[in-house]
Amino acid sequence: MKRTKTSRQTQILAELDSSPSLRVAELARRLDVSTETIRRDLDELTTQGLLNRTYGGAVRPLSTEPSVTERHRLYVEERQRIARAALKVIGDARVLMIGSGATTVHVARRIAIEMKNITVITHSFGVATVLAFNPTIKVLMLPGDYHASEGATVGSHAVSFLGNFYADCAITGASGLTVDGPSEALLECGAVYTAMVARAAKCVVVADHSKFDAVFPSRYASWRDIAALITDASPPDTLAAALKQSGVELTVS
């Protein structure tokens, strides 16, 4: 059955929630319409500011990302695998800093199950909530402005507060992963992650494959600042080469 234009465009936007980029030919096949119809849809959605046209497809507009609540519904199994692998990389760290995001909440849930007698410094209410199930884990929340779509505190108070602490390990997510480093859609969160990287002995980035080659405005670290990347699929060759050149430990779960 042919879809209406509205339902077709709604489906296109839904596809962008789970994939950083879309191809015209693939969309035409999935939606059973011509490539010309898809191109017209993409042009209309671009005019509305809902996506950006690329050669042969479309991407989500720079600096936009689904809310953390929406992201929790995506790649659940992949993020669970990433979380299990992260515990092996964290090792015997006693003081952790954990950034906001869907994947970091999965990691925090696994930490609550497997670790004890540690201190976690975080700005994420989701991270704090899942850690609360383990009474041996001390959770220190960063002050700051509450960012509702991310469920986290951000701003100058959060960043300056981190300057009072050191951590064995910082665990951060990412909106995008390119040869230049991990990037974040929200500038405010990117500033917090940069501070975490600076105050930790090592930083572990946890991110699923949908983040490969996606570019967002806040590059919060270069790969030489990152000790390890844990993901669920082998990265593209150019990204893999950049990781190897910077000495980043790559774990594919």
Which secondary structure element, helix H or strand E, spans residue 16, and what is its range? helix 5-18
Residues 17 and 95 in one domain: no
Higher pLDDT, 4 or 130: 130
Q: What is the DSSP letter of 78?
A: H
Burial class (CB in 10 A: 0-12, 13-18, 19+), 229: buried
Residues 35 and 123 in one domain: no
Residue 252 has pLDDT above 90, yes or no: yes
Q: What CATH number did the domain enclosing 33 receive?
A: 1.10.10.10
Residues 50 and 78 in one domain: no
Residue 116 pairs with which residues in a beta bridge? none
Residue type, 37: T
CB within 8 Å of 53: residues ≥ 6 apart = 42, 43, 46
Query: Strands, E, within the chain: which ranges?
Result: 21-23, 52-54, 57-59, 95-98, 119-122, 138-141, 145-147, 152-154, 169-172, 176-178, 181-184, 203-206, 218-219, 228-231, 249-252
Residues 163 and 122 in one domain: yes
Residues 77 and 48 in one domain: no
Q: Does the predicted model carry a pTM greater than 0.85? A: no
Report CA-CA distances (Å) from 3 to 8, 9, 22, 33. Answer: 6, 9, 19, 9
- Condensed to tens digits (0 to 9), the pLDDT of residues 41-83 reads 888 888 877 777 777 788 766 545 555 556 556 678 899 999 9
Burial 113-131 (b: 16+ CB within 10 A, else e): eebeebbbbbbbbbbbebb
What pLDDT score does 62 carry? Answer: 53
Residues 13 and 49 in one domain: yes
Extract the tokens encoding 103: 């994947």
Residue 119 lies in a domain: yes
Residue 166 lies in a domain: yes
Residues 106 and 225 in one domain: yes
Q: What is the total count of domains within the chain?
A: 2
The span from the CA of 131 to the CA of 33, in Å, is: 47
- Condensed to tens digits (0 to 9), the pLDDT of residues 216-248 reads 889 999 999 999 999 999 999 999 999 999 999
Residue 105 lies in a domain: yes
Residue 83 lies in a domain: yes
What pLDDT score does 230 carry? Answer: 98
- Condensed to tens digits (0 to 9), the pLDDT of residues 159-203 reads 999 999 999 999 999 999 999 999 998 899 999 999 999 999 999
What pLDDT score does 111 carry? Answer: 98
The parent domain of residue 149 ranges over: 69-252
Residue 64 lies in a domain: no
What pLDDT score does 73 carry? Answer: 62
- Condensed to tens digits (0 to 9), the pLDDT of residues 108-132 reads 999 999 999 999 999 999 999 999 9
Residues 107 and 167 in one domain: yes
Q: What CATH number did the domain enclosing 141 receive?
A: 3.40.50.1360
What is the pLDDT averaged over residues 140-161? Answer: 95
Residue 115 lies in a domain: yes
Residues 43 and 146 in one domain: no
Q: What percent of the chain has pLDDT over 90?
A: 64
